[in-house]
Amino acid sequence: MNSSRRIGSHGRRVALAGLTSLTLFACGSSSDGPSANTGGMASHVGGAGPSVAGSAGTPSTSAGSSGSAAMPGASGSVGSGGSNAAGGSAPAATGGNPSSAGSSSGGGGNVAGGPSNSGGTGGDMPLVYGVENTGTDCPAPPAPPAFSALTTAPELPDPFLLSSGTRIASRDQWRCRRAEIASQMQYWVSGPKGAPPADGALTATFSGGKLTVVIKQGSTSITLSSTITTPSGTGPFPLVIGMNTPTGSITSNIFTSRGVATMVFTSSQLVPDSLNVPRGGGDYFKMYPDTNAGAMIEWAWGISRLIDGLYKTQDQNQIDVKRIAVTGCSFQGKMSLYAGAFDKRIALVIPEESGGGGEASWRVMASQTGTEDLEAAQGTAWYATNLKQFKNPDAKKLPVDMHELVAMVAPRAVLTIANTSIDRLGSEAGYVSMKAAGEVYKALGISDRIGYSQNATGTHCAFPSVQAADVGAFVDKFLVGKSADTAIAKTPYKTDLSKWYTWTTPTLK
């Protein structure tokens, strides 16, 4: 591939050992938290694992039936953590989020005061949660294998396969399967997300429209701040957190005309240079010294801490903390996806043109040319140190792939925006991932909560009007609470999906 390709004013070259150069996209200005049991995880070794009864090929398209089993609420209890293993240090054990006000009930259902649930068959599954991580009480998965022990598995890993070797059979099992995926993702792809601050270690103030959050641990202090812009009238209002700009690259009127407040996450408050990220540099790594962590998970941690601040000041800030969305474009699209995947207080995730390291499958991109593939994406410390062990041929050895990062958002809502006119973005690989992640939503009976809008729209991060209605429908339904048709699956690709996943989709009870 031509790794020195530049695209308009949004490309930036970064030296990368072993490659001529790397073009990184940068638009705009510049958890669920990890499972309590993040020390280890099952590897995807020797294939995708057993299938349920049925022939191999494209997964079944029949939706999972609705049932009485609801997504359990979070307990917030402290997990035990897993053991370390060869191949890198394991993520640290983390406890529940201290900002647990308004947590969802164990019986499931929508979080009180959250958006109304319309459409889909999984109506008793929450649209959002009141805690960052609902998987803290799940069993610890096995320790991860050494890189040398991984075997080739060409197809996308089975998102329904537990580390025990059995597949989940009920919707309430998804919570702990998701915790296993989160553990794998942190070990191999992102690095560990820092634990929520202990009680009293995070303080928040809101004054003059500005939220300020201070996190202290030992002699280290981190301050995050953001100005919130609210509509006229009386709140509480839904909120979109844009990565480095109020609404990412999406036209702001799509949100503001619907009465949605805006807020900026400024990535430089944690990492001064987003495109030349130092490995292990900055105050974050003084507080959480595991340098397997990459910037994407560090930024996700920062967004979660701002959400902590929103909870602590909700009697002042006019924000409905049960109606929060995140969005961004390019590397900021990746940022929004990691934030939404790892924090269950985020109701709607809208990554735009996120490319490699976003929703696009590493495996699929490794089979293509000109994309931001596994090797091209590692020119800066956005991802785990452990990921650097993998070159393109090794993509088939990854125990996880990016369809599982998208699936971690479930049962909350996600809409991905793709620009098919730029090869580097790997939109076809994104399509394959979204179809695979959609099988999780289908099995849960909530297919209306996932969508993708893929169009040839020209300039990188220049949001086109043709995609405005798609975003508006998801905002209406999952932030504003209005009825809207969110059966959005727009793509030019006719990819043979049976090549990429041979597991079948269970009907979860």
3-state secondary structure of 327: strand
Report pLDDT digits (tens) over 94-138. 333 333 333 333 333 344 334 444 344 466 899 999 999 999 999
Res 37: pLDDT = 35
Residue 163 CA to chain centroid, in angstroms? 21
- Mean pLDDT, contiguous 10-residue spans, the chain (509 residues): 33 31 37 35 34 33 33 33 34 35 35 41 84 96 95 97 96 98 98 96 98 96 98 95 98 98 96 82 90 95 98 97 98 98 98 96 94 88 95 95 98 98 96 98 98 95 95 98 98 97 95
DSSP 446-467: -GGGEEEEEE---STT---GGG
Peptide linkage before 492 cis (omega within 30 of 0): no
- The pLDDT assigned to 122 comes to 65
pLDDT value of residue 120: 44
d(CA 181, CA 410): 12
How far is it, in rounded angstroms, from Cα 357 to Cα 458? Answer: 21
- Three-state secondary-structure class, residue 352: strand
Domain ranges of the chain: 8-61+74-94+131-499
Report, in this order, helix, strand and coil percent for the chain, each rounded to 5.
25, 20, 55
Sign of the Cα torsion 127, 132, 138, 144 reads: positive
The CATH number given to 8-61+74-94+131-499 is 3.40.50.1820
> Per the residue annotation, which of 10, 44, 403, 460 is the catalytic one?
460
C-beta of residue 403 within 8 angstroms of C-beta of residue 436: yes
Catalytic one of 51, 274, 330, 433? 330
Q: Would you state the torsion angle of the CA atoms of residues 333, 339, 345, 350, taken in this order, to the nearest 10 degrees? A: 10
Query: What gap in Å lies between CA 60 and CA 53, rounded to an integer?
Result: 11
User: 162: which 2 tokens?
Assistant: 């537990």
Vertex 432: Cα angle to 360 and 37 (nearest 5): 60
Cβ(261)–Cβ(231) below 8 Å: yes
Quickly tell me which residue has 């969508």 as its tokens: 451
Pick from 349, 361, 441: nearest CA to 401: 361
Burial of 50 (0-12, 13-18, 19+ CB in 10 A): exposed
460 is catalytic: yes
Residue 233 CA to chain centroid, in angstroms? 32
Which of 463, 484, 465 has the alpha carbon at shortest distance from 474? Answer: 484
3-state per-residue secondary structure call for 204-272: EEEECCEEEEEEEECCEEEEEEEEEECCCCCCCEEEEEEECCEEEECCCHHHHCCCCEEEEECHHHCCC
